[in-house]
Amino acid sequence: MEFTASQIATLAGGTVEGDANVKINTFAKIEEGHPGAISFLANPKYSEYIYTTGSSAVLVRRDFKPEKPVSATLIRVDDPYATLAHLLAQVSRMMNQPRRGVEPQAYVSDGVDLPEGVYVGAFAYISPGARIGKGVQIYPRVYIGDNVVIGDDTVLYPGVTVYNGCHIGKRCIVHAGAVIGADGFGFAPVGERYDKLPQIGIVEIGDDVEIGANTTIDRATMGATRIGNGVKLDNLIQIAHNCSVGANTVMASQSGVAGSTKIGEHCMIGGQVGFVGHISVGRDVQIGAQSGISHNIPDGMRVMGTPASDFGSYARRQAVIKRLPDLARQIDALLKDKQ
């Protein structure tokens, strides 16, 4: 798929400066530009890159005034970043028409009502009592358990499993292989053996949530494991039983949250972070990749490391850790002096 700068300007309601016929077939950050790519300049602190970028075209604000010659074609728009996002969305819609209709090889239990506009792919399985909202797209090989509720316009990609009784909100996207509502990991020791502690709760997922491929969210022992509105979970994440993740929190791949831990709203959590169970993390918390969170974190903190501490302490400690072999030699020398 390829566009000229002038086609993009037309789509975006912008004006072109430079070669209007230059061909665009990909996107690149302005500092990593290359021929065929379009970039955008929204943050003035990146302005210097516009003079050297290898990109063929750059989206800039209407009032942007270059201080030096620019070789890339400029496309002037009101909001360069929003324009880029819209362009991607338009191309995405052209490429991915929503699927509609029920393929005959789907298994739909008696009594399940399928509103107009839904898609149910071949080999999808919908159990008794499930309630499916308008415009829901259920790809092939999705499993929907008994009494599951799926809100309007949610998309379940191939191979998603939703266990009995779980609720998924509206406009959610659940990627392939995600498992919603498997049993929480609860056992009671009986001598050396363990008896299973039945897990009779559910998972409740809000609206506008995106869940990555092969991510797992366990059902609660009783009550619900809760994922708030607007939460974005990357691939291969583990959310254990009875956890809650607050609205608009974003968590990167391979992080894991142990049982009953509560994470606040609007947190940013890096990849491969681990949380022990039964703690509370406040709102607006930022956590660096690979951190280990073993105690409560107050609102607004930025933490890092295992065990995690605030960014400043972490950085100071790491600086000293780098010097450790030198420090050890100095101590040895001081001790020798003393003798």
Residues 274-313 that bind a copy of itself (CB under 8 A): 274, 276, 278, 289-290, 292, 294, 306-307, 309, 313
The single residue listed with the structure tokens 């409740």 is 204
Strands annotated E in 242-293: 244-245, 250-251, 256-257, 262-263, 268-269, 274-275, 280-281, 286-287, 292-293
Residue 118 tokens read as 């839904």
Residue 91 in contact with a copy of itself, rule: CB under 8 A: yes
User: Binder to a copy of itself among 18, 117, 271, 282 (CB under 8 A)?
Assistant: 271
Residue among 169, 212, 228, 264 that touches a copy of itself (CB under 8 A): 212
Nearer to a copy of itself, 66 or 306 (CB): 306
Residue 146-165 contact track with a copy of itself, rule CB under 8 A, x = bound: -----------xxx-x-xxx
CB of 338 to a copy of itself, least distance (A): 7
Q: Which is nearer to a copy of itself, 65 or 193 (CB)?
A: 193
Are 222 and 241 in contact, with CB atoms under 8 Å apart?
no
Give the span between the Cα atoms of 40 and 140, in whole angstroms.
Answer: 37
From candidates 238, 245, 263, 281, binder to a copy of itself by CB under 8 A: 238
Q: Tell whether omega for the bond before 307 is within 30 degrees of 0, i.e. cis.
A: yes
Q: Taking the CA of residue 193 as centre, how many other CA atoms within 13 Å lie in the half-sphere pointing to its CB?
A: 4
CB 19, min distance to a copy of itself, A: 20
| Interatomic CA distance for residues 138 and 154, integer angstroms | 8
C-alpha separations of 314 from 288, 299, 306 in Å: 11, 18, 9
Which range binds a copy of itself by CB under 8 A, 5-13, 66-74, 130-138, 175-183?
A: 175-183
Give yes or no for residue 139 binding a copy of itself (CB under 8 A). Answer: yes
Residue 118 or residue 172: which is nearer to a copy of itself going by CB? 172
Total residues contacting a copy of itself (rule CB under 8 A)? 112
Q: With binding defined as CB under 8 A, does residue 199 bind a copy of itself? A: yes
CA distance 225 to 215: 14
Instruction: Considering only the stretches 5-13, 51-59, 67-75, 134-142, report the one whose residues sit in contact with a copy of itself under the rule CB under 8 A.
Output: 134-142
Kindly provide the b/e burial profile for residues 245-282, where b requires at least 16 CB atoms within 10 angstroms of the residue's own CB.
bbbbbbbbbbbebbbbbbbbbbbebbbebbbeeebebb
Phi-psi label, residue 54: left if phi above 0, alpha if psi -120 to 50, beta otherwise: alpha
User: Quick one: the chain helix, strand, coil %, rounded to 5?
Assistant: 20, 30, 50
Minimum distance between the CB of residue 37 and a copy of itself, rounded to whole angstroms? 8
| Span interacting with a copy of itself, options 11-19, 61-69, 110-118, 196-204, rule CB under 8 A | 196-204
Active site residue 175: no
Pick out residues in 8-67 that bind a copy of itself (CB under 8 A). 25-27, 29, 32
Greatest Cα pair distance in the chain: 89
Among 73, 137, 216, 244, which residue sits at the site for a copy of itself (rule: CB under 8 A)?
216
Catalytic residues: 241
